[in-house]
Amino acid sequence: MRENGKRRIVRLKDIADKTGYSINTISHALRGMNDISEETKSYILKTASELGYVTNSIAQSMRLGYTKTIAVILGDISNPHFAILTKEIENTASKHGYSVFLLNTNEDEDQEERALKTAIQHNVDGIILCPVQRSEKNVRFLQKSDIPFVLIGRYFPEMDGVRYTICNDVRGGYSATEYLIRHGHRKILMLSGPAHISSAKERLQGYRQALADYRIEYDDSLVIEVPIMETDCSTLLPEDGYTAIFAFSDIVAWSAWKVLRERGKRVPEDISIIGFDHIQSRLSLPYSLCSVSSYKAKMSITSVEMLISIINGNKEMENIIIDTDIAKGESVSFIS
Amino acid sequence: MRENGKRRIVRLKDIADKTGYSINTISHALRGMNDISEETKSYILKTASELGYVTNSIAQSMRLGYTKTIAVILGDISNPHFAILTKEIENTASKHGYSVFLLNTNEDEDQEERALKTAIQHNVDGIILCPVQRSEKNVRFLQKSDIPFVLIGRYFPEMDGVRYTICNDVRGGYSATEYLIRHGHRKILMLSGPAHISSAKERLQGYRQALADYRIEYDDSLVIEVPIMETDCSTLLPEDGYTAIFAFSDIVAWSAWKVLRERGKRVPEDISIIGFDHIQSRLSLPYSLCSVSSYKAKMSITSVEMLISIINGNKEMENIIIDTDIAKGESVSFIS
DNA sequence: TTGTAAGCGTTATCAA
DNA sequence: TTGATAACGCTTACAA
pLDDT at A1: 35
pLDDT at A249: 97
Looking at domain A67-166+296-322, its CATH superfamily turns out to be Response regulator (3.40.50.2300)
Reading chain A (336 residues) residue by residue, the pLDDT tens digits are 333 345 678 999 999 999 999 999 999 999 999 888 888 999 999 999 999 999 999 999 999 999 999 999 999 999 999 999 999 999 999 999 999 999 999 999 999 999 999 999 999 999 999 999 999 999 999 998 889 999 999 999 999 999 999 999 999 999 999 999 999 999 999 999 999 999 999 999 999 999 999 999 999 999 999 999 988 888 999 999 999 999 999 999 999 999 999 999 999 999 999 999 999 999 999 999 999 998 899 999 999 999 999 999 988 889 999 999 999 999 999 987
pLDDT at B231: 82
Chain A residue numbers with beta carbons less than 8 Å from the beta carbon of B287 are 261, 286-287
- Nearest chain A residue (CA) to B261: A286
CA of A3 to C1' of D1 (A): 36
Q: What is the CATH number of domain B2-55?
A: 1.10.260.40
pLDDT at A7: 63
CATH class of A169-294: alpha beta
Strand C nucleotides, any atom under 7 Å from protein beta carbons: they are 1-5, 7-13
Residues B191 and B252: beta-carbon distance below 8 Å: yes
Closest CA–CA distance from residue B119 to any residue of chain A (Å): 9
Which helix or strand (DSSP H or E) is residue B244 part of? strand B244-247
> CB distance from B270 to chain A under 8 Å?
no
Say how far apart CA B169 and CA B116 lie, in whole Å.
26
Give me the residue spans of the domains in chain A: 2-55, 67-166+296-322, 169-294
Same fold, A67-166+296-322 and A169-294: yes
pLDDT at B12: 95
pLDDT at B223: 98
pLDDT at A72: 98
DSSP labels for A136-189? SHHHHHHHHHT--EEEES---TT-TT--EEEE-HHHHHHHHHHHHHHTT--SEE
Q: Answer yes or no: do A123 and B58 touch at CB < 8 A.
A: yes
pTM (2 decimals)?
0.95
Report A:41-80 residues touching B (Cβ under 8 A): 52, 54-59, 61-62, 65, 67, 69, 72, 76-80
Q: How many other C-beta atoms can be found within 10 angstroms of the C-beta atom of residue B134?
A: 15
Phi, psi of B154 (to 5 degrees): -140, 155
Which segments of chain B have a pLDDT < 70?
1-7
Q: How many other C-beta atoms can be found within 10 angstroms of the C-beta atom of residue A74?
A: 28
pLDDT at B7: 64
Give the closest residue to B300 by CA, choosing from B95, B50, B62: B95
Closest CA–CA distance from residue B283 to any residue of chain A (Å): 7
